[in-house]
Structure 1
Amino acid sequence: MPGPYRKHFLPLESNPEVFNELLHRLGASPKLTFQDVFTLDEPEFLPRPALAVILVLPTTKTYEARKTALESSRPDYNGSGDGELVVWFRQTINNACGLYALLHALSNGSASKFIESGSILARLLQTCIPCGPDQRSQALENSLELEEAHAALAAKGDSLVPDNAEDDVDFHYICFVRSNVDGHLYELDGDCKGPIDTGIALSAEEDVLSQQALGLIRGYVEQEEESIGFNIMALVRTAGVS
């Protein structure tokens, strides 16, 4: 469940330009880029193949109640090491759910193959992967390079940011990735007790915007009385970059 937060960041805008600059600052190859997903109902207009999907959703009472009910019966996750089905980070930095979603997108699936050697992210993963969730959280909190990169991008975009990093915001980021180990679609949210296996097994030909995945994402939107405040970005191979 959320918190306890030991550190506070200003939030990121759910804007592909902001996320793209941050992912490249952290050490993702220029071969990766985030793109907006404008429709869930017209497959021909989806950015493909999608290596990861970030869903930005309003933190309404409906969402919070459903999340509390689901999490109440789940055990705390304590996975670590190369045998993990997915790489998951527990969120202990307030208002940094966009950063955690980006880290989840880059650390899993085929996107993880495009992290440049010696980069900020490569060094963080080298430190974090052998560790359990608590040590991973501490490593992220202690990374001045990560904090500086995030701060530079939190000041960009068109949205107003809170004056105080400790102020709460009314939206949340979650990430969907394909496991390199079992091929399942996982929901990764640092404010949950651990990674969530959606039970959707993706074939080698399916990406994270497959029909089953789209159905799952639609479910989040349809559970709200008004389908506003949602935004979706897909992590894809950059067109024209070899």
Structure 2
Amino acid sequence: MAESNGAVKTHRKAYLPLESNPQVFTQLINNLGVTALEFQDVFSVDEPELLAMVSRPVYALVLVFPTTPMYEEQIAKEEATRDSYTGSGAGEDVIWFEQTIYNACGLYGILHSVSNGDAANFIEPGSALARLLATCVPLAPHERALALEASEELEIAHATAGVQGDTAAPASAEDVVDYHYVAFIKSKSGHIYEMDGCKKGPVNRGAVLSADEDILSESALKFVREYIHREKDGNVNFSLMALVRA
């Protein structure tokens, strides 16, 4: 599966969309400086036998799903009642990135996954990602987004991953595709957050995980199921990946 552009607010730069493929995602985080972690497929959110195949702990979940009219309508209603996020600095419970790069939802899902919670402890000092975060984290959300756009290291790493995978990449980074990525992470305080750069900010889902619970716990999986069950026509074109120890 490839990814959707999402409701990007500005459009100065476009990337080839990433395939929903654990090897592709893992290659990208390795290139950025996270070699101790990898992505794995999660083949079911309901069957205990298949869930047991996933390595634990799980540091983040990345969900790719079809952007149907039903989804767009639901998100428009939710976002209409929310204020835009204005947080900045290392003291925030999460690090969130506004998406301003077209067709880069997968990249933002990856950044949200590896930059938050315990996953951030695996970022190699001096790596491309460490340098990028040192620049971005102190900034306000929109300035942070511009700093991401300006990163040549990030663009090169993404371009390398964008041509990998089992399906052909779109002919142009400007092509419209109809899938979108969101990440679910455990924050510093243990809260479950939905991280989507096309929304107004991080979404605190109102649930708190205990110290020994990870983001593949039942408390978190119910939010993934909400996306799947929202599709009344039975659309099954969903894919879920887990960020785990390599």
Q: Normalised by the shorter chain, which TM-score bucket?
A: over 0.9
- Name the counterpart of 2:218: 211
- Name the counterpart of 2:117: 109
- Aligned pairs for 1:168-179 (under 5 A) are 168-179=176-187
Give how far 1:158 is off: 1.1
- The one of 99, 102, 105 equivalent to 2:107 is 99
- Name the counterpart of 2:131: 123
Instruction: Give the partner amino acid of 2:40.
Output: Q
Residue 199 in structure 1 maps to residue 196 in structure 2: no
Gaps of 5+ in 1: none
- The one of 165, 186, 189 equivalent to 2:193 is 186
- Name the counterpart of 2:42: 37
Residue 227 in structure 1 maps to residue 235 in structure 2: yes
| Separation in structure 2 between the aligned mates of residue 44 and residue 104 of structure 1, nearest angstrom | 24
Q: Is the 8 A contact 2:19 2:162 kept in 1?
A: yes
Give how far 1:161 is off: 1.9
Q: Is the 8 A contact 1:39 1:46 kept in 2?
A: no
Q: Is the 8 A contact 2:55 2:245 kept in 1?
A: no
| Separation in structure 2 between the aligned mates of residue 205 and residue 39 of structure 1, nearest angstrom | 22
SS in structure 1 at match of 2:106: helix
Residues 49-74 of structure 1, C-alpha deviation per residue, up to 9 Å, x if partnerless?
11000000111111111011100110
Q: Is the 8 A contact 2:96 2:201 kept in 1?
A: yes
Residue 25 in structure 1 maps to residue 31 in structure 2: yes
Instruction: Give the partner amino acid of 1:19.
Output: F
Structure 1 segments of 4 or more deviating over 2 A? 43-47
| Separation in structure 2 between the aligned mates of residue 31 and residue 118 of structure 1, nearest angstrom | 15
Instruction: Give the partner amino acid of 2:73.
Output: A
- Name the counterpart of 1:12: 18
- The one of 112, 117, 136 equivalent to 2:144 is 136
SS in structure 2 at match of 1:45: coil
Give how far 1:37 is off: 0.2
TM-score (normalised: structure 1): 0.95
Q: Is the 8 A contact 2:94 2:116 kept in 1?
A: yes
SS in structure 2 at match of 1:50: coil
**Backbone CA RMSD of aligned residues:** 1.0
SS in structure 1 at match of 2:148: helix
Instruction: Give the partner amino acid of 2:220.
Output: A
Give how far 1:209 is off: 0.7
Give how far 1:47 is off: 3.2
What number of residue pairs does the alignment pair up? 236
Give how far 1:45 is off: 3.1
- Name the counterpart of 1:86: 94
Residues 44-102 of structure 1, C-alpha deviation per residue, up to 9 Å, x if partnerless?
23332110000001111111110111001101111001211100000000000000000
Give how far 1:124 is off: 0.5
Q: Is the 8 A contact 2:40 2:54 kept in 1?
A: no
TM-score (normalised: structure 2): 0.94
SS in structure 1 at match of 2:197: coil
